[in-house]
A and B are shown apart, each in its own frame.
Chain A
């Protein structure tokens, strides 16, 4: 495939992803800029007088591929980080992490409630309540939140929106200070996360 044809395919992919909202789910780039790129790349792909038909076919293939991309940000499977994220992000989980960053002693030992997505215990690591933060694109998405030690067994599947209430504690784990909500009650809360 010549570069000019690849450009047509990528232009279609960008336009298709922007049209379905997939670009907003997968990147932090505003959709109008993705559309502008798609339009410019399509114009360059068609600028060669030869192979316009092939470029058109590849553009159409790209649009179709773009429409198959997920319209929700995929979940990450890495470690949940118990540290605040700079920048304005709404939600009780982010607000609590910011409070911990500013003055941990002010909130440690207190009863707290946060909403987020549930992740079960994996390989000896505690269960977590967390939210995904995408700084640039889906590839660099990280999960921030808290370890959770529930008072009774929790059967929710990974990704279930939950509300967790319990006592905030700090623990030294693997050389790092991690924050956990202990003696926690966990309830399903479908409207708790956006």
Chain B
């Protein structure tokens, strides 16, 4: 049965037509694949580094606050949070969420990059925005989170770097795919953004790494408040971060995290004025 429409199409269209039409469909698909692979390749070493740090923290220090502290202060890209997340499952969700948010927005390398590229004023705005986002998330998760502390059967943190790495990469791939689809289907996301709101939406969809977001903010956002909204939204209200929180802590908590991210953005915008 499937042959008949195929034969009718083949009779109606010339080979050149078919090639042209196939190109229209296949070119964006190919570009989505390439962009997805590029995101995964760029992030994978950071996920590995985060996995190693999280495993070491779990193995050698027995305090329940160690893993959150390491996640919050680790000098790496926010991609490393994918590696940390498994280790944080055994913590109180509010503390884990605060650590993941603060670590994504205000990790040391991101702060240095922001100070270098965007200057001291926007560095302060980023720190304030990240702090408000993390604090609000902690508060919202305490007040409005699920009754269960952990959504997984294996509440105990997985042992070993391999388990952390597998989990981090499993989450990264769909988020990278979503980001790539947005970029290919709406390339003007990478255009100039005048208003903080549009800058924040673009950052949330684009979901760049924390080491790259200051440069992109400088190029894509015109004003200081728009740049502040871009860098904060890119890390705490973006596709990758919300997917990470949703997978490990549930959709409800991820939705609350998006609200907290919006509060962080708003505060950063006001601080950057």
Residues of A within 8 A of B (CB): 3-4, 6-7, 10, 13-14, 17, 23, 26-29, 33-34, 36-37, 40-41, 44, 47, 69-70, 74, 76-79, 81, 83, 85-87, 133, 135-140, 142, 144, 175-176
Contacts and interface: CB of A to CB of B under 8 A. Distances in A.
Interface stretch (B15-23, B97-105, B120-128, B185-193): B185-193
A70 B34 contact: yes
B42 A136 contact: yes
B40 interface: yes
Interface stretch (B57-65, B135-143, B204-212, B241-249): B204-212
Contact of B208 (A14, A140, A144): A140
B34 A37 contact: no
Contacts of A142: 190, 216, 219-220
B197 interface: no
Interface string B194-221: 1000000000001011011011101110
B35 A139 contact: yes
Contacts, number: 131
B44 A14 contact: yes
Interface string B173-188: 0001001100100011
B222 A176 contact: yes
Interface of B: 31, 34-42, 44-45, 48, 116-117, 161-162, 165-167, 169-170, 176, 179-180, 183, 187-192, 194, 206, 208-209, 211-212, 214-216, 218-220, 222
A18 B169 CA distance: 19
A74 B34 contact: yes
Contacts of A37: 44-45, 48
Contact of A36 (B45, B161, B211): B45
Contacts of B187: 76-79
A139 B161 CA distance: 28
A175 B221 CA distance: 12
Nearest to B193: A176
Given A74-B34, A81-B220, A139 B180 contact: yes
A78 B40 CA distance: 22
Given A41-B48, A76-B190, A138-B35, A27 B41 contact: yes
A138 B34 contact: yes
